[in-house]
Structure formats: C-alpha cells, structure tokens
Homo-oligomer: A and B are copies of this chain.
Amino acid sequence: MHISPLLTDLYELTMLAGYLERGMHERPAVFDLFFRSNPYQGGYAVFAGLETALEYLEELRFTATDLEYLESLNLFSPAFLAYLESFRFRGRVSAPPEGSVVFAREPLLTVEGGLAEAQFVETALLNVINFQTLVASKGARINHAAGGAQVMEFGLRRAQGPDGGLSVARAAYIGGVRSTSNVQAGQVFGIPVKGTHAHSWIMAFADELTAFRRYAEVFPQGCILLIDTYDTLKSGLPNALTVAAELRERGHELFGVRIDSGDLAYLSRQVRAAFDEAGFPGVKVVASNELDEHVIESIRAEGGRVDIYGVGTRLATCAGEGGGALGGVYKLVQVDHSPKLKLTSDVSKATLPDHKTVLRVVDRQGNFIQDVITLRGEALSPGDLVYDPGNPLQQVRIPDAANFVELRSLVMEGGRRCRPPETLDAAADRSQEQLSRLPAGCLRLINPHTYKVSISAGLNQLRLSLITEVKDKFKTRHT
C-alpha cells in the first residue's frame, strides 16, 4: 500500500519551507498523535494502522515527478525543492503494537525528530491511524456483539474508495473480524476470503431451484445458498432443503444458507428449525443486511439462530455514534527540549505537554485496572496519587498490589523499523486477549464503564504551570 509523499495537506509543505528558511528545520521536536474521545461513545479503541504508517515513514521520498509538480505551483524556492529531493524521515517513533486496547488522551504515536520531518508526516499518519483504528474498534464491537458467532466483512461496495475497502478489511481483521469478501485484501494481507452468490445468480436461471442446483454442482463444498430472492420461507427454504438432500446423496453436506432481508431474528429461527427437523443440524445460517453491533445484539436478544453474520456498509463506513471519523490529532509537545502546551477554549482539554510514557496498571492476574500517563523517566509506584487530566481535583491512588506495564515501545529509530512487521494474526490475537482483560463494563456497547486514564503528579504539575504561564502572557500583553 504505497503512500505518496504528496498525500499531505499543503500546509505541511509550506511549514516545512518556512522552517527551512528560518533554519529551524533540525530543531529537536516531539509530537504526539492521540484522540480526544473513544470512538462510537464506547469504552475503548483498538489501535491499528501502525505497520502501514511505518512503511510510509520508511519509504518516504519525493520523486522527480513530485518535485516537478511542486515547482509548478510557484510557491516554493529552488533551495526548498533541492532540500526535498534528499528529504527522508530519520526520526524515532514510539507506539503500542497493533491490536492494543487504547483510550482517549493517551499518546499513541510519539514522533521525535527534527521539527521539519516530524511535522511533515502529520497528515499521512493521521489519515492512516485515524481510519484503521476506527475500523478496528468497530470490528471489535461487532465481534463482541456476535458473542462467539463468526463475523465476515463484506463492505467493499459501500467502502469509501477502492483503498478504503482494502484498509477496512485489514483493520477489521485486527479488531477480530477474521474473514472478508474482498479478494484483493486476501491477496495483499492474506486474510481468508469468503463468499456466496448474488440475487442475480438466481435471476439468471428459469427458477430458484434450478439456480440452487447449478450452484451446488459447481461448488459442492462450502456451498452457501442465498434464500431470499423471491420469498425466504415459501420458496428459498424449501428449495434449499431439496438441494441439501440432493447434495447429501452425492456425498456432500450443504454448508449454509444466507438470509439477506426481512426479520432476521424470526427467519433465522424458522430456518434453523426446518433444517434441524429435516436432519441437517450442521447447515449454518448466515445473516446479512445493514448489520451492526446493535442490530446483532437485538437479533441475539430475540433468540435469533445465526451462525455467521455478514457485515458490510456499517462496518466499512464506521457508521454510528461519532459519525464515521476518529478525531485523532497530532500536537507538538516539545521543541528544543522545552515542553509545549496547546490551550483550547475549554481549558480542561488543554494538551498534555512534554515527552511522556503510558503505563498500564494491572493486577496480579494481569487484568487492567487503569492507565497512567507520566513524564518520561518519572517514577510511579503503587500508592501514588494520580490525577484526572480534565480536572486535577479528581484524584485516585494506585492500588498497592499493582504492577505496571509500558503500553508502548520504540518501533522506529533513525527512520528504520526496530523490528520486522508483525503478522495480522498477532495483532488480532492481541486485541482479543486485551479486551478480555478489560473490566467487563467497558465492553458494553451503550453507556460503557469509563476506564480511568490518569496523569502522574509530575505531568499534572507541569501542565498546571504551563497553563498559568500562557494565561499570564495575555494579561501582560492585552489588558
């Protein structure tokens, strides 16, 4: 998945030119990438996109064609274009591994390097991490709602562009959705590909029974019949029962039937009962049609008998609470080794300055208690007081029996990865393992328990003093 260096907002380039002209481009700088609230008003996010991002950083270079285009804009000096020709990302990146469960306000990527290089990569990093983390989180929610039933992704036709579809399959897999209909995702990422047939297959034959028979002849193994083209219970179901019996005579078992419309809870119960009664308890019921975590939850609550959920549009477009975007941002937290703070109109949302560490506080069994963001190098011990980043009045004490695990590690140094890319399976296994260690209430789809993310005493103190300093400046200057 090659990402062009021109996949960037123009202002990254104008700032780069400005830093170069002012001789500031190599000043040491640190940026944090984080989001301000969990996606879908949920209790967590599943981090994804890191390997794509690291590949981008490693391969970042401007081609002659790119430079010609930039020259044609009549914005940039020859000196700047010459500088871009040898521009590479040579910085350091810290991040959690993909599939990690992460939370609002935690620095996910921390990028260290010269001011110019660390600033420039903002747009592409946000594009990749925002979207893949959003999809992985949606995948995890849907997978959780399915409660052990399989989930298949087939959102390609409604995905946001060709590569949108490809990113969806990758990130959904990390979130726990372990198959896709997207053949290119199979080729590129090795994700298992699955599929059935469309209504048009049925309509291309004189009648539904003939269409089923022909399909079962071509694909006797793993055959899934779509039974709602004309009428699920009056036509599709009896025809599928006929074909199941015929397949068995030829030594095969019908794999499943798919229902793509109507009352899925009711129809799945009827279809399940009919196949059980006819001696086909192994036939899987596949359900699809605008499914998401809430619809799946309601199907199960009504006793639906679905073995496999096919999820398309609402996974691919990350529909639902929060509306299709993770509001990840990329903020300067340190320059020339001095901490930097960005205020907003709501002071409780001021950024967390300086270079930081994220510690996960776990109990003796390894279950997650809370996370604490500290200054880099700051010691944290059981029994210490830590603070709510939105309101320092809210304090908690780290339990005595707690252990600390660092959420992130150095993944890139001098512009090169510190380790080979991880497999998608490792990331997918990690998300499932970590979700199982969260307090159960955090997994609730609506009004989940809030997992606590605190800041250390040192970070709290630094932030308070920087807020005061910035506020004092205006007073001096403007009153």
Contacts and interface: CB of A to CB of B under 8 A. Distances in A.
Contacts of A9: 154, 156-157, 181-183, 195
B159 A127 contact: yes
Contacts of A66: 187
A13 B323 CA distance: 33
Interface residues on A, range: 35 or more
A37 interface: no
A328 B14 CA distance: 40
Contact of A473 (B207, B316, B328, B330): B207
Contacts of A219: 14, 17-18, 75
B238 A478 contact: yes
A245 interface: no
A72 to B, nearest CB: 9
Interface in A104-163: 115, 119, 122-124, 126-128, 130-131, 154, 156-163
Interface stretch (A229-237, A421-429, A457-465): A229-237
A131 B119 contact: no
Contacts of A165: 7, 127
Interface in A407-463: none
A7 B219 CA distance: 22
A261 B342 CA distance: 13
Interface string A312-342: 0110111110011111101110010000101
Nearest to A263: B345
Nearest to A335: B204
B317 A325 contact: yes
A477 interface: yes
A159 B131 contact: yes
A151 to B, nearest CB: 16
A379 interface: no
A235 B232 CA distance: 66
Interface stretch (A21-29, A85-93, A268-276, A296-304): A21-29
A397 interface: no
A184 B19 contact: no
Contact of A156 (B123, B154, B194, B199): B123
A470 B230 contact: yes
A203 interface: yes
A131 B184 contact: no
Interface string A61-80: 00001100110010100000
Interface string A177-202: 00001111011000001111111110
Given A131-B159, A187-B6, A344 B474 contact: no
A204 B24 contact: yes
A4 interface: yes
B319 A218 contact: no
Given A183-B13, A331-B200, A234 B158 contact: no
Contacts of A186: 6, 10, 69, 73
Contacts of A157: 9, 122-123, 126-127, 130, 328
A31 interface: yes
A313 B477 CA distance: 35
Contacts of A199: 331-332, 342
Given A7-B184, A160-B161, 12 more contacts: A10-B182, A10-B195, A14-B219, A18-B197, A18-B219, A69-B187, A130-B158, A131-B161, A131-B164, A158-B327, A238-B477, A319-B324
Interface of A: 1, 3-4, 6-15, 17-19, 21-22, 24, 27, 29, 31, 65-66, 69-70, 73, 75, 115, 119, 122-124, 126-128, 130-131, 154, 156-168, 181-184, 186-187, 193-201, 203-204, 207, 214-215, 217-219, 229-231, 234-235, 238, 261-262, 313-314, 316-320, 323-328, 330-332, 335, 340, 342-345, 470, 473-474, 477-478
